[in-house]
């Protein structure tokens, strides 16, 4: 198993060279690690490095930047909301999110043909607006308008049994998050109940749900959303991870790259809050 120092050095050397600005594979995900590491170590240099990554990725964002959650603005925005909520950065909400809110509002209302996936579809956009409404944007009516539009579209597809099999876990997770907002709890309770009647939700298979994730974060996410006790499974997978020989890591990101490995170290050996799994 690689040492944390080795991983940190690799991320410092390569983080700024990473061309992708997004959450899963790029600078936003790397910044997630360095903010947590700076807080853990008390070393402001790591916080400065994370801030430099943010400055760089903001310069990369243009009108043509993807809206996707995995590589684009939706995921970047959720990452920034995480930084604000944790006190890693300070900013005026309206200034910080104004362009993101406007771009994703247009996408939610006027860009058809999006699928229902988290990575590139409506549930990814929905997660952005849910996070904004949980945070400093809770009084912004345009955010509610966009989220309502997304929720109604998805609810209609659920009712008409028009949700593809492979997108159902993402839709279920979105609905679980949606009903935690008081304004949406009663209105979408029935949609959530219909999701719970799907076979993949009634009889969850931990090896098939959320296949884009590594197994360890997947187990935590399933435990949270399916009310299952997966303590033993998590323990076994953690042991495998600790005992594994050095495997090839091909990217810097937080989904399955060097930043992901670094966050696992902080989670298992320094007991940081596991809520970062909810970014995935």
Q: Report, as an integer, the average pLDDT of 106-122.
A: 91
Side-chain-facing half-sphere of 59: CA atoms under 13 Å? 8
- pLDDT mean across residues, the chain: 93
Domain edges within the chain: 93-203
Q: Which of 53-57, 139-143, 206-210 has the lowest mean pLDDT?
A: 139-143
Secondary structure tally for the chain: helices H, strands E: 13, 0
Q: pLDDT digit string (tens) for 2-43? A: 789 999 999 999 999 999 999 999 999 999 999 999 999 999
Q: Percentage of the chain surpassing pLDDT 70? A: 96
pLDDT at residue 250 in the model: 84
In order, the DSSP letters of 84-124 are HHTTS----HHHHHHHHHHHHHHHHHH-----S-TTTSHHH
Say whether pLDDT at 136 is over 80.
Answer: no
Burial pattern 246-266, b for ≥16 Cβ within 10 A else e, equals eeebebbbbbbbbbbbbbbbb
**C-alpha distance across the termini of the chain, in Å:** 23
Q: pLDDT digit string (tens) for 210-241? A: 999 999 999 999 999 999 999 999 999 999 99
Q: pLDDT digit string (tens) for 49-60? A: 999 999 999 999
How far, in Å, CA of 245 to CA of 29, rounded? 24
Say whether pLDDT at 176 is over 90.
Answer: yes
- Banded pLDDT at 93 (limits 50, 70, 90): low
Q: pLDDT digit string (tens) for 239-263? A: 999 888 667 788 999 999 999 999 9
Say whether pLDDT at 185 is over 90.
Answer: yes
pLDDT at residue 73 in the model: 96
3-state secondary structure of 195: helix
Higher pLDDT, 112 or 164: 164
| Percent of the chain as helix, strand, coil, to the nearest 5 | 65, 0, 35
Query: Closest Cα to residue 156, out of 175, 169, 139?
Result: 175
pLDDT at residue 94 in the model: 58
pLDDT at residue 115 in the model: 95
How far, in Å, CA of 269 to CA of 225, rounded? 25
Say whether pLDDT at 187 is over 90.
Answer: yes
- What radius of gyration do the chain's Cα atoms show? 19
CB 97 within 8 A of CB 77: yes
pLDDT at residue 141 in the model: 87
pLDDT at residue 92 in the model: 63
Burial pattern 208-220, b for ≥16 Cβ within 10 A else e, equals ebbeebbbbbbbb
pLDDT at residue 245 in the model: 64
| H/E element, 52 | helix 44-60
Query: Closest Cα to residue 227, out of 172, 265, 165?
Result: 172
Q: Report, as an integer, the average pLDDT of 179-184.
A: 95
pLDDT at residue 113 in the model: 77
Q: pLDDT digit string (tens) for 63-72? A: 778 999 999 9
pLDDT at residue 90 in the model: 81
- Banded pLDDT at 62 (limits 50, 70, 90): confident
């Amino acid at each position: 198993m690689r040492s944390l120092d080795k991983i940190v050095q690799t991320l410092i050397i390569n983080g700024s060279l990473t061309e992708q600005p997004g959450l899963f594979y790029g600078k936003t995900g790397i910044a997630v690690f360095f903010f947590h590491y700076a807080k853990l170590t008390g070393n402001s240099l790591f916080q400065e490095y994370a801030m430099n990554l943010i400055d760089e990725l903001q310069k990369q964002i243009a009108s043509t930047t993807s809206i996707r959650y995995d590589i684009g603005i939706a995921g970047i925005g959720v990452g920034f909301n995480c930084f604000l909520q944790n006190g890693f950065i300070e900013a005026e909400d309206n200034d910080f999110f104004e362009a993101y809110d406007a771009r994703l509002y247009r996408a939610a209302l006027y860009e058809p043909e999006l699928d229902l996936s988290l990575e590139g579809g409506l549930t990814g956009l929905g997660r952005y607006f849910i996070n904004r409404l949980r945070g400093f944007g809770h009084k912004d009516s345009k955010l509610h308008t966009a989220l309502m539009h997304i929720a109604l579209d998805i609810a209609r597809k659920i009712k008409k049994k028009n949700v593809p099999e492979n997108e159902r876990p993402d839709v279920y997770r979105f609905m679980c998050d949606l009903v935690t907002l008081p304004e949406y709890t009663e209105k979408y309770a029935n949609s959530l109940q219909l999701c719970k009647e799907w076979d993949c939700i009634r009889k969850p298979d931990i090896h098939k749900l959320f296949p884009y994730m590594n197994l360890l974060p997947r187990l935590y996410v399933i435990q949270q959303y399916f009310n299952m006790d997966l303590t033993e499974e998590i323990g076994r997978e953690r042991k495998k991870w600790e005992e594994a020989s050095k495997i090839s890591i091909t990217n810097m990101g937080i989904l399955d790259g060097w930043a992901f490995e670094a966050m696992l170290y902080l989670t298992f050996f320094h007991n940081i809050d596991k809520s970062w799994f909810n970014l995935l």
